[in-house]
Amino acid sequence: MYPGMQPQAVVYQTQSSLTSTANAPFLQPGSERFLPQWFQSVDQDRTGQISVKELQRTLNQNGLNYSLKFCASLIRMNDKSNNGVADYQEFCELHRFLVTAQQMFLHADSDRSGYLSLPQVHHAITSAGFQLDETSFYAACQSFDVERSGKFTLDYFIAFYVFLTNARSIFTAFDSNQSGSITLDFSRFVYATAGTS
Ligand SMILES: [Ca+2]
Ligand SMILES: [Ca+2]
């Protein structure tokens, strides 16, 4: 529940769809053994690179319905060559990131409801080293949980985690002397926010 909100009737998501997402073969622990085969099957046009659309199709087939824009930010997270597509190494790193995020989700979902409450989300991201004050935490949650249900399913949680990871990378890049605070003019602020979404 977000601060200032009244309790409402709760509509629970069916367990079956969540279970199938959590069991997506692509993200199961041990699935890294099959990454060469995964890479080949994801790379439908045989370019040797995974495009944003190819990634979106695969995640979709695994129950993670993401926009093209979000899939682009997933690729950007590990895009060392900065060419907007994922080569095999970048694909492997992305896979490792997604498996980790899914494990964080399953670990935080201690009551096995299939979604995380806001305190569970807070606990998960704090354990991952993200320190946010309460106002920032709720504001960030609401930008993903647009219906303000207070429930983070796996896809929401991954999106939130990607956002925080990208935000931290950008912050760290600006905070070159590691003082823990940065000063941005408008232009650099736009540059920074463009990299987080
Ligand atoms: Ca391709
Ligand atoms: Ca690349």
Sequential DSSP letters for 114-157: SSEEHHHHHHHHHHTT----HHHHHHHHHHH-TT--SEE-HHHH
Place of tokens 């990208």: 166
Average pLDDT over residues 77-100: 93
Cα-to-centroid distance, 4 and ligand 2 (Å): 44
Structural domain range at position 57: 29-194
Of 70, 51, 68, 58, nearest to 24 by C-alpha is 58
Ligand number nearest CA of 44 is: 1
| 14 is a domain residue | no
Contact 88, 96 (CB under 8 A): no
Predicted TM-score (pTM) of the model is 0.82
135: CATH = 1.10.238.10
Residue 8 lies in a domain: no
Number of domains into which the chain is organized:
1
pLDDT of residue 20: 40
How far does residue 92's CA lie from ligand 1's centre (Å)? Answer: 15
- Does 24 map to a domain? no
Ligand lying nearest the CA atom of residue 87: 2
pLDDT at 10 over 70: no
pLDDT over 90, % of the chain? 66
Q: Does residue 15 form part of some domain? A: no
User: Does pLDDT of 122 surpass 60?
Assistant: yes
Residue 119, domain member (yes or no): yes
Q: Which residue has the higher pLDDT, 23 or 27?
A: 27
Dist. CA 87 → ligand 2 center (Å): 5
Sign of CA dihedral 145, 103, 120, 75: negative
pLDDT at 15: 38
DSSP category for residue 71: H
Ligand 1 centre and the CA of 53: distance in Å?
A: 9
- 106 located within any domain: yes
